[in-house]
Amino acid sequence: MTPELLLLGFPIAIILAALLWVFQAPGRRFLSLIPGIIPSVSLGLILFFVSQNGANEIAFPFLKILGGINLEIRFALDSLHLGLAFLACFLAFLIQLYSVSYLEKEDNHAFFHFLIVLFQAAMPGLFLSLSFFSLFIFWELVGIISYLLVQFWYRKEDVLASAFRVIMVNKAGDIALLSGIGLLMSFGLMIPVTDKILFPEGSGVFLASPTGQVICAFFVVSALIKSAQFPFSVWLKRAMAGPASVSALLHSATMVAAGVWMISRVSPWLPIQVLNALAVLGILSFLAGNLAALASQQLKSILAFSTMAQLGIMVAGIGLSGSDAAILHLICHAFFKASLFLTCGILMKHLSEQGSRNSDSLSELEGSLNSSLWGRFSLGLCLAALAGLPLSSGFISKHGLMPEPWISSAGNFEWTCWLLLQIGSVLTAMYSVRVFLRLSSEREGAANVPFKPLMAIPVILLSLGSGFWLFGLNPISSEGWLTGFLGIKGHAMFPDFFAPVIGLILGWILWKKKFEIRLPGFLQSAFLEFKPAEKFMNAFGGFAMNLAFLTRKTDEKVLDKSLRIGAKSVVVAGYFSSFTDRYILDGIFKSIGLFFYWIGGVLFGQARHSARFSAWFILLVLIVLIYFSYYR
């Protein structure tokens, strides 16, 4: 069985999901899980095939254009690409399993499962893409499906508005990506567009030139927007308008991961100036996200801002240390962030059913996990990984993102970056311990939330991927089965746990003192509420709405009016044609027919009574025929 044949599982899964959506059967929601299993099984079999036969590449013909350009859908079938694709499918399936119970009262649950299966096809396609052309196709599919998932509760106007903001910001990134691809083609660099994201020898001189840096900037901007880096992170909080399972999907290893994956693919040929800019922007996002999460009092907002911060440290790590460490942290982040969002969904759902109007407030949720041992265990392990505490996967993966200026002859830039990343790590640990203590503490009258099995199993499985054993048996080394499988070089780490421990102590003190962090006005405007970016979005959104209003008016006043006039003209012409055909043409032909019928009757009657008349008539006809034959 070949990889090409195994990839047929994806269209089969989509067709089955579409059929189950159309012919959904109430009370049989487990049927929706069947299509969700197929992509993971297909990728698992391909992984086994590759492990037995070595890495491979496959290409499917797509389009031929003038100039001999052959555009293909090209996939890389090696351990790294297949491993990330399998992770995306596995996470999506666990979230789908969780949603069977979480969305049990929703009437359009089958449509949700259909979108999840589409996501399971689009996101692996993005990870497996070998060329920019293939990547762009699946990049667009991921964006469209994400928009449909965010507006799942489309009957609410605020949800539709949030979904519109999400798609609008991401479309700006799509335009930047398409512009970068077009510029590469215009300068004759077809290999990264049609074949592999590699550049021929000598291209480094061109890419380091001002023109090449502009091209690199287009790709970097598209990736920064997709990965919600500051100030483009305004869409990330809007994406939480959907269900908690959608937030878990978008904030873990799917939509936001696409931006980090893009930067990691293009980072080998980025000039040093662009890499330094990535480090600065990533650190700024890391600090901004952590400050916003520290000052927020809403659990879902804290998790969203922490996603922005974690993506920021990944981008900074690519600029400072390379892409391998960012990929490892991306995998770890997928596990603990998906588990945290699913836990948040369980808590919010229970409080909403109890009549709470502010179900994600920390004050409302305080003490809600006090009676749940598994809930406290999964929450504590995931928050430890988020903070980078020892014995967690985040402790190992974050180390690879940190520069080590004391080892090499580093300058002031590396030392400054290291110091700022340490400060951000302190802030991460502070709000992580605050969340854990408030949710697991004892409080009189607290709502003890039961964990239903279908929702608890995905949460616990994902949290188990947040321990150091995700890498191997050594709690202070990234060398192990994961790095060996992905083909990434691991290394023993310096046990740098001082910043997380300091943050842990400070967070515990603030919790004991009941002290809440309040940011100054200008910081709250810039980081927590993102007012500058929000104002820009409102202005741009207003322009887009006005343009849509103008388009609708033009359609009503010009196109519709012209079509109505044309339709009435056609109707009038039809009535006139019917009248002419019925009363004029039909009358003429009927008259001619009656005349010849009368002539025929007269001749027939005369011929029957007189043989002489018949002979003279035949002779006359022959004379007429001879005359016209001779003088024609």
Q: What is the DSSP string of 355-405?
A: T-S-TTBHHHHTTTTTT-HHHHHHHHHHHHHHHT-TTBHHHHHHHHHS--T
Query: Which range among 276-280, 520-524, 572-576 shows the weakest confidence by mean pLDDT?
Result: 520-524
Q: What is the pLDDT of residues 156-189, one digit of tens each?
A: 777 777 777 777 777 888 888 888 888 888 877 7
Is 218 inside a domain boundary?
no
Is 195 a residue whose pLDDT tops 50? yes
Q: What's the chain's Rg over C-alpha atoms?
A: 35
Number of H helices, E strands in the chain: 27, 2
Do residues 350 and 303 both lie within one domain?
yes
Query: Residues 367, 371, 375, 376: is their CA dihedral positive or negative?
Result: positive
Q: Which residues pair with 73 in a beta bridge?
A: 60
pLDDT at 520: 55
Work out the average pLDDT over 530-550: 50
Determine what percent of the chain is predicted with pLDDT higher than 70. Answer: 73
Long-range contacts of 346-351 (CB under 8 A, 24+ apart): 346/102, 346/244, 346/375, 346/449, 346/451, 346/452, 346/455, 346/456, 346/459, 347/299, 347/439, 347/449, 348/244, 348/299, 348/300, 349/102, 349/244, 350/447, 350/449, 350/450, 351/447, 351/449
Q: 297 phi and psi, to 5 degrees?
A: -115, 10
Is 551 a residue whose pLDDT tops 70? no
Distance (Å, whole) CA 396 – CA 389: 9
* Residue found under tokens 């001189």: 205
Do residues 438 and 329 both lie within one domain?
yes
Structure letter (DSSP) for residue 467? B
Distance (Å, whole) CA 235 – CA 227: 10
Do residues 482 and 597 both lie within one domain?
no
Is 547 a residue whose pLDDT tops 50? no
Query: Which range among 323-327, 506-510, 524-528, 557-561 shows the weakest confidence by mean pLDDT?
Result: 524-528
Is 371 a residue whose pLDDT tops 70? yes
**Final residue belonging to a domain, choices 476, 502, 526:** 526
Is 235 inside a domain boundary?
no
Do residues 516 and 545 both lie within one domain?
no
Is 593 inside a domain boundary?
yes
pLDDT at 97: 85
Q: What rounded mean pLDDT belongs to the chain?
A: 75
Is 559 inside a domain boundary?
yes
Do residues 386 and 473 both lie within one domain?
yes
Do residues 52 and 124 both lie within one domain?
yes
Total domains in the chain come to 3
Q: Which residue has the higher pLDDT, 320 or 235?
A: 320
Is 389 inside a domain boundary?
yes
pLDDT at 545: 45
CA-closest candidate to residue 379, choices 357, 346, 351 = 346
Q: What is the pLDDT of residues 462-484, one digit of tens each?
A: 888 888 888 878 888 878 788 88
Do residues 65 and 202 both lie within one domain?
yes
Do residues 85 and 163 both lie within one domain?
yes
pLDDT at 23: 67
**Final residue belonging to a domain, choices 192, 208, 224:** 208
Q: Which residue has the higher pLDDT, 432 or 626?
A: 432
Tokens representing residue 530 in the block: 């993102």
Q: Which residues pair with 71 in a beta bridge?
A: 63
What CA dihedral angle connects 446, 447, 450 and 451, to 10 degrees?
Answer: -90
Work out the average pLDDT over 306-322: 86
Is 312 a residue whose pLDDT tops 60? yes
pLDDT category at 25 given cuts 50, 70, 90 is low
**Final residue belonging to a domain, choices 526, 556, 579:** 526
Do residues 521 and 565 both lie within one domain?
no
Work out the average pLDDT over 364-387: 82
Query: Which range among 353-357, 416-420, 575-579 shows the weakest confidence by mean pLDDT?
Result: 575-579
Do residues 482 and 546 both lie within one domain?
no
Q: Is 69 helix (H, G, I), strand (E, B) or coil?
A: strand
**Contacts of 255 by beta carbon, 8 Å cutoff, 6+ apart:** 142, 143, 146, 226, 239, 249
Q: Is 189 helix (H, G, I), strand (E, B) or coil?
A: coil
Do residues 356 and 484 both lie within one domain?
yes
Most confident of 30-44, 101-115, 309-323: 309-323
pLDDT at 544: 44
Most confident of 71-80, 234-243, 545-554, 592-601: 71-80
CA-closest candidate to residue 235, choices 530, 436, 5 = 530
Residue 145 domain boundaries: 1-208
Determine what percent of the chain is predicted with pLDDT higher than 90. Answer: 0
Is 222 inside a domain boundary?
no
pLDDT at 541: 46
Is 223 inside a domain boundary?
no
Distance (Å, whole) CA 579 – CA 588: 13
Is 221 inside a domain boundary?
no
pLDDT category at 549 given cuts 50, 70, 90 is very low
Do residues 155 and 287 both lie within one domain?
no
Work out the average pLDDT over 91-115: 80
